[in-house]
Amino acid sequence: MSQRTEAKAPPKRQPSRRHYAVGEASKGRILEAAEKVLARDGYHAFSTRRVAQECSISVGNLTYYFPTKDSLIEALMEAIYDRYQRRYAELASAEGRHSPASLATLVTELLRDAADPEATGVFLELSIMARHHGFGPKVLNRFYERWAHDIAEAISHEFPDRSQHELLRVAYFLTIIADGVCTVFSRLEDRSVGHDEIVALAIGAIEGFLKRGEGGG
């Protein structure tokens, strides 16, 4: 009489590199669609259903990658801030240049970016998101801290005698100006003071502080 042997369950298959790549591509498509919805409809109209429609997938497929609206929003914030941080880091660095950007060039380009309606529209909505979600301030603070250190590093090439603390004070001062430019000059209404005048004033104030060296830091 033969003995019955239980068939062993086949080992679980591990996700292949191709499967992982497809998953990351799908996440990327969803995040691109989410950014479009955010820019077009604003935070208060933002929903997983609208993102799924924009991406031409079902809500069920979307929740496979982002189970909750909060997880989608957090991933979106991280993706957008990481993209801009890389962009600003490249602008501030010597990569692709014969020498690092001068202070005047750096301030001019950063504040020009800050006045771009398309980019600033998304940033304003992200700021609203940050106030409505517990993880928002941490993501936002991490972006500003990394951004400030990149700017400080760039400025140090032109002002090597200034301390790290002085350079970071300048970087955060520039951050505050950029946020103000984003709020005031990204809209197309005429202003009694021009954007170029604010840029020139910012350059003069920062150069004056760094050349005087009265940082108190």
Domain 17-67 = CATH 1.20.1090.10: no
pLDDT at 71: 93
Domain range annotation of the chain: 17-67, 70-212
Question: What is each CA distance from 128 to 11, 77, 133, in whole angstroms?
Answer: 47, 11, 9
Q: How far apart are CA 107 and CA 178, in angstroms?
A: 9
Secondary structure of residue 79 in the 3-state scheme: helix
Instruction: Tell me the Ramachandran region of residue 47: left when phi exceeds 0, alpha when psi lies from -120 to 50, beta otherwise.
Output: beta
Burial classification of residue 132, based on how many CB atoms lie within 10 Å of its CB (0-12 exposed, 13-18 middle, 19 or more buried): exposed
pLDDT at 131: 85
Query: pLDDT (tens digit, 9 = 90+) per residue, 95-151?
Result: 444 455 688 988 998 898 888 887 778 888 888 888 888 888 888 888 889 889 988
Class of 70-212 in CATH: mainly alpha
pLDDT at 212: 84
pLDDT at 25: 65
Copy the structure tokens of residue 57: 């997938």
pLDDT at 215: 46
DSSP 101: P
Cβ atoms 94, 100 nearer than 8 A: yes
- Per-residue pLDDT in tens (0 to 9) along the chain, 217 residues: 445 555 555 555 555 444 444 456 689 999 999 999 998 999 899 999 999 999 999 999 999 999 999 999 999 999 988 888 887 777 766 544 445 568 898 899 889 888 888 777 888 888 888 888 888 888 888 888 988 998 898 899 889 999 999 999 999 999 999 988 988 887 767 889 999 999 999 999 999 999 985 444 4
pLDDT at 92: 67
